[in-house]
């Protein structure tokens, strides 16, 4: 007697999907064309450091979403009411990476701004400053009060 070689359609579908590779489609915002990338979506990284005794918030990996770091620095300077500039860091491969540096702890404000202004979902923003906790993340919601708007 021969054994049955049938399989439930749910099981066939599950096995088929398990073999496929994950791809991410990114569109909208400042992108001219839809971008496809293998695996998880790229993330904008927000970190905080202490430099010369002062806290700074760093925003990197903006090129993944075609965000101009100089324009981003200008907008964050107006929103945060703090100095923001672009620094170039040399990677091990010899390539240059541009990082936006904002004076003070503004990680939550920047993450919220990336979502509202550029439409980035929360899973595309890696707020490492908030994970550090303690004295390296934004304590409360702040508004820039030293900026005049015409």
Q: What is the pLDDT of residue 134?
A: 62
Q: How far is CA 18 from CA 13, 36, 58, in A?
A: 9, 20, 37
Q: What is the pLDDT of residue 6?
A: 85
- Chunked in runs of 10, what are the mean pLDDT values of the chain (150 residues)? 76 90 75 77 88 90 87 91 89 87 90 88 86 65 60
> CA-CA distance, 133 to 26, in Å (whole number)?
30
Q: What is the pLDDT of residue 97?
A: 87
Neighbours of 62 (CB within 10 A): 22
| Three-state secondary structure string covering the chain | CCCCCCCCHHHHHHHHHHHCCCEEEECCCCCCCCEEEECCCCCEEEEEEEECCEEEEEEECHHHHCCCHHHHHHHHHHHHCCCEEEEEEECCCCCEEEEEEEECCCHHHHHHHHHHHHCCCHHHEEEHHHHHCHHHCCCCCCCCCCCCCC
Q: What is the pLDDT of residue 140?
A: 62
pTM over 0.75: no
Q: What is the pLDDT of residue 33?
A: 78
Q: What is the pLDDT of residue 143?
A: 62
Non-local CB neighbours of 122 within 8 Å, separated by 6+ positions: 111, 115
> CA-CA distance, 117 to 146, in Å (whole number)?
21
Query: Which sequence spans correspond to the domains of the chain?
Result: 44-134
Q: What is the pLDDT of residue 69?
A: 92
Q: What is the pLDDT of residue 53?
A: 87
Look up the CATH number of domain 44-134: 3.30.780.10
Q: What is the pLDDT of residue 101?
A: 94
């Amino acid at each position: 007697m021969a054994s049955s070689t049938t399989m439930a359609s749910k099981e066939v579908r599950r096995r088929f999907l398990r073999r496929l590779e994950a791809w991410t489609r990114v569109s909208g915002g400042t992108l001219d064309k839809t971008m496809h990338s293998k695996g998880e979506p790229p993330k904008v990284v927000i970190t905080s450091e202490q430099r010369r005794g002062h806290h700074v918030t760093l925003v990197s990996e903006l090129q993944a979403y075609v965000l101009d770091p100089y324009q981003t620095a200008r907008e964050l300077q107006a929103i945060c009411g703090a100095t923001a500039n672009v620094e170039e860091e040399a990677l091990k491969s010899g390539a240059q990476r541009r990082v936006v540096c904002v004076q003070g702890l503004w990680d939550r404000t920047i993450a919220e701004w990336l979502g509202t202004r550029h439409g980035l979902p929360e899973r595309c923003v890696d707020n490492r400053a908030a994970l550090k906790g303690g004295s390296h993340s934004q304590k409360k919601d702040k508004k820039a009060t030293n900026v005049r708007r015409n």
